[in-house]
Amino acid sequence: MLASKLPDVGVSIFAQMTALAQETGALNLAQGFPDYDPPLALREALARHALAPGSHQYAPMPGLPRLRQAIAAQVARLQPDAPAPDPATEITLTAGATEALYGVLAAVVRPGDEVIILEPAYDLYGPAVRLQGGVPRYVRLPAPSFRPDWDAVRAALSPRTRLLIVNTPHNPSGAVFGADDWDALAQLLAGTDALVLSDEVYEHLVFDGVPPRSARQHPALRGRSFVLSSFGKTYHATGWKVGYCLAPPALSTELRRVHQFLTFAVSTPTQHALADVLEADPTATGAMTS
């Protein structure tokens, strides 16, 4: 008889609510996807590469070089106060940011390790930690600001803390870390070996004109952070399942050790299409906020 590794986990609430919305015709506010299509230029690029010869076999495990170079150029433009990521050693394409998230946890969390999760949180975080034998430690984000209570986070920190997961802009509240939050986190982790997983998939979906700052823009956090991004969220193409992880070479190496045995590579024509759009307009970040 098979003993479940997650006996208290059923079908994701997102899957349940989406099915109900489709059944009843209700407005679906459960899953993070829009009700309109990706930009026409991106769809046309995908059609070209889907029909072109030579775009249908495995892409390189870390991702197409041209797409990694385009990502590096865009990140350098958006984060001028941080070193540009090295396309060869610091950018890894994944099957959505979800695969990157799971890959990071599989790479760094060992049985008995503790992972601090700020909640409310994406429902994958806790189960994925438990599947590695880790122990989730939840810290509630106080309403109405949903900004971290860093004293509460400090109280959850222990010698067994391996990783702290942050999500900014935050799903579902929309709260965005300020510079003081990054400073507080850096001070909290100083003198520890704890790592940071910064889920930044909504990085371009801000509506107040103030761009959010990334963990990699903080000099004390850059060397210990995995930063996750999602083309699906940015270009409202969630069904394409393409994301990526920015991390220092040593951390990227560990993620890639796992990634090669999860999906190995991401869809080749899809990567070419994304590279076309980024190369044509390096400032392009979708049209979600226009």
79-110 pLDDT tens trace? 999 999 999 999 999 999 999 999 999 999 99
pTM: 0.93
Residue 6, domain member (yes or no): no
Indicate if the pLDDT at residue 289 is higher than 70: no
29 vs 237: which has the higher pLDDT? 237
Residue 10, domain member (yes or no): no
Residue 19, domain member (yes or no): no
Distance from C-alpha of 220 to C-alpha of 148, rounded to nearest angstrom: 19
**pLDDT attached to residue 290:** 45
Name which of 18-32, 74-88, 161-175 the model is least confident about: 18-32
| Beta-strand pair 195-199/225-230 | parallel
* Mean pLDDT of the residues in the chain: 93
> Average pLDDT, stretch 135-162?
97
**pLDDT attached to residue 206:** 82
Distance from C-alpha of 116 to C-alpha of 218, rounded to nearest angstrom: 20
> Average pLDDT, stretch 14-42?
82
> Average pLDDT, stretch 212-238?
96
Residue 232 near residue 96 (C-beta atoms within 8 A): yes
Tokens standing for residue 188: 């909290």
Residue 125 near residue 137 (C-beta atoms within 8 A): no
CATH label of the domain that carries residue 268: 3.40.640.10
Domain count, the chain: 1
Cis upstream peptide for 169 (omega within 30°)? yes
Indicate if the pLDDT at residue 46 is higher than 80: yes
Residue 286's pLDDT band (cuts 50, 70, 90): low
286 vs 35: which has the higher pLDDT? 35
Residue 100, domain member (yes or no): yes
Sign of the dihedral through C-alpha 267, 268, 269, 271:
positive
Indicate if the pLDDT at residue 282 is higher than 80: no
Taking residue 103's Cβ as centre, other Cβ atoms within 10 Å add up to 27
> Average pLDDT, stretch 239-251?
98
Name which of 14-18, 144-148, 178-182, 217-221 the model is least confident about: 14-18
Indicate if the pLDDT at residue 74 is higher than 50: yes
Query: What Å distances lie between residue 192 and 159, 164, 188, 219, 226, CA to CA?
Result: 8, 12, 9, 16, 16
Residue 81, domain member (yes or no): yes
Smallest CA-to-CA distance from 177 within 213, 152, 229 is with: 213
Residue 106, domain member (yes or no): yes
Domain boundaries, position 225? 40-51+60-280
- Non-local (6+) Cβ contacts of 7 within 8 A are none
**pLDDT attached to residue 130:** 98
Taking residue 237's Cβ as centre, other Cβ atoms within 10 Å add up to 24
Residue 36's pLDDT band (cuts 50, 70, 90): confident
Residue 24, domain member (yes or no): no
Residue 288's pLDDT band (cuts 50, 70, 90): low
Q: Which amino acid is at 91?
A: I
**pLDDT attached to residue 255:** 99
